[in-house]
Structure 1
């Protein structure tokens, strides 16, 4: 299989940010990539922005959903059209540093990693850093990940050549977390590269800003997706809550 990286980008009404997202991909030192942007029936100007880029650069592929189906279905449509050995995820309001793909692919080859993730930093709506970095451990297994999703979706890359399952979003809330768990449950480790190579945009609509819903969805994953017993679910949920508190206090640099 080739060394192509397929970048999965769902998009809905992202006129304000999609240009910066695409420019961060075009600026990559690593040139073997395709960016698959799935437009989930947007009604603003983001559609024309992406089409202009795709007309100039054949690596940028625009697909429009037949109907609005949400981020999980949009990602799955992109995955169906992905040709690369590597699968990376980048939402339409987040950005990467120019060395993100080159450094992470080299890291994965060195570690023989099937799945990897990196540290990332939070930015605001004006691309300004807000003094919060999410650092990562050297590696994580299934049981550790149950204690909290420390794998930022915008940082994850999966090597399909080494994976014995289809890469597909489940449709459950926190669908990225469900996917990571399904991979690690097979015995894989996710390897962490503790360098800030991506920037997550914190907006009023960001999922991470709704702690109550996030907690409810995490509990649902324990009980209804992973089928974990009540006692063990409580144990993992307590760890999830504690880790969430620690994460919210990290400011000013890698901790």
Structure 2
């Protein structure tokens, strides 16, 4: 009999007391139950660590790691790889949720496609109170280094399920804060080690209100431009690189303008499609189960 594939799920958290319980409950609600959950505290000063410890005390598959320090996301993501017991590693942000079927569908893809190193998904976008605000189904195509430099992406970083062996070959650069995923894809592509599939379904639920802010976007664009300036040689010409940089600078101006006039909702809406009736039904079914678990 074929042995069951186990997954190490990593959730780093920092001051997410308002959302962490629901994130953990969405793991507990998975139809695929062969996993460990690693909760890594990044020096929280609110009740996040207390919430994580409570879940740890109730389920032996959950373990909490806390050193009291604030080392930022890229460091914690590398730490998850080091701590993972199993050959598959799933990402999730502490303020997000996921469909009950996410792990089941993703692990099936990797088990059926041995040449593929990782798989991501589409997403629902959700608001502060878990209300459904939109959908992005994702597109299944392969990026190359030039596309990544151009700012083209079909990869949702937070929904990543990867083979541990790929992560060991492709560590996060811990200095690339707020653009660690951009750098990861680019370095892997440069090494001809970017072999993936995208499940074109909204299996991950992304909380845009916490993640798409003026400050984070500006800092992310600045870091992306630094990465582009350091990596363009051998991929694009100097003139093309300069054109890409000018485009990122224009993006910064647009974000600053929208932020100044309190119009960020316009940008958020442009980043997703309206939900269909079936999307709403699927979301409601999964979310009901997540909330049921949270009552216990």
Query: Shorter-normalised TM-score: what interval?
Result: 0.7 to 0.9
Question: 8 Å contact 1:140–1:191 — kept in the other structure?
Answer: no
Take 2:208 and 2:269, find their aligned partners in 1: how far apart are those partners?
15
Max Rg structure: 2
Per the TM alignment, residue 219 of structure 1 is displaced from its structure 2 partner at its CA by: 1.0
**Cross-structure match for 1:115:** 118
Q: Which moved more, 1:96-105 or 1:127-136?
A: 127-136
Are 2:232 and 1:222 equivalent residues in the alignment?
no
Q: Which runs of 5+ in 1 are unaligned?
A: none
TM-score scaled by length of structure 2: 0.75
**Cross-structure match for 1:233:** 241
Structure 1 pair 80/9, CA: closer, same or farther in 2 (3 Å)?
Answer: same
Question: 8 Å contact 2:172–2:180 — kept in the other structure?
Answer: no
Matching residue within 264, 273, 276 for 1:251:
273
Take 2:55 and 2:45, find their aligned partners in 1: how far apart are those partners?
18
Deviations 1:161-180 (A, max 9, x none): 46671533432131122122
Per the TM alignment, residue 116 of structure 1 is displaced from its structure 2 partner at its CA by: 1.7
Deviations 1:49-103 (A, max 9, x none): 1111111112111011242122222222222211221122101101110110110
Q: Which has the higher helix share?
A: 2
Take 2:214 and 2:204, find their aligned partners in 1: how far apart are those partners?
16
Structure 1 pair 251/166, CA: closer, same or farther in 2 (3 Å)?
Answer: closer
**Cross-structure match for 1:5:** 7
Structure 1 pair 76/163, CA: closer, same or farther in 2 (3 Å)?
Answer: closer
Per the TM alignment, residue 34 of structure 1 is displaced from its structure 2 partner at its CA by: 1.4
After superposition, residues 1-255 of structure 1 pair within 5 angstroms as 3-112=5-114, 113-133=116-136, 135-148=138-151, 149-161=153-165, 165-173=169-177, 174-187=179-192, 188-204=194-210, 206=212, 210-225=216-231, 230-237=238-245, 248-253=270-275
Question: 8 Å contact 1:117–1:193 — kept in the other structure?
Answer: yes
Question: 8 Å contact 2:170–2:184 — kept in the other structure?
Answer: no
Structure 1 pair 209/107, CA: closer, same or farther in 2 (3 Å)?
Answer: farther
Per the TM alignment, residue 2 of structure 1 is displaced from its structure 2 partner at its CA by: 7.5
**What count of residue pairs does the alignment treat as equivalent?**
254
Structure 1 pair 224/110, CA: closer, same or farther in 2 (3 Å)?
Answer: same
Question: 8 Å contact 2:81–2:168 — kept in the other structure?
Answer: no
Question: 8 Å contact 1:15–1:44 — kept in the other structure?
Answer: yes
Q: Which has the higher strand share?
A: 1
What is the aligned-residue RMSD (CA, Å)? 3.0
SS at match of 1:52: helix
Take 1:211 and 1:108, find their aligned partners in 2: how far apart are those partners?
32
The runs of at least 4 consecutive aligned structure 1 residues that moved more than 6 Å come to 238-247
Q: Which moved more, 1:45-54 or 1:105-114?
A: 105-114
Take 2:56 and 2:124, find their aligned partners in 1: how far apart are those partners?
28
Per the TM alignment, residue 18 of structure 1 is displaced from its structure 2 partner at its CA by: 0.3
Take 2:214 and 2:105, find their aligned partners in 1: how far apart are those partners?
27
Q: Which moved more, 1:137-146 or 1:232-241?
A: 232-241
Take 2:244 and 2:197, find their aligned partners in 1: how far apart are those partners?
21
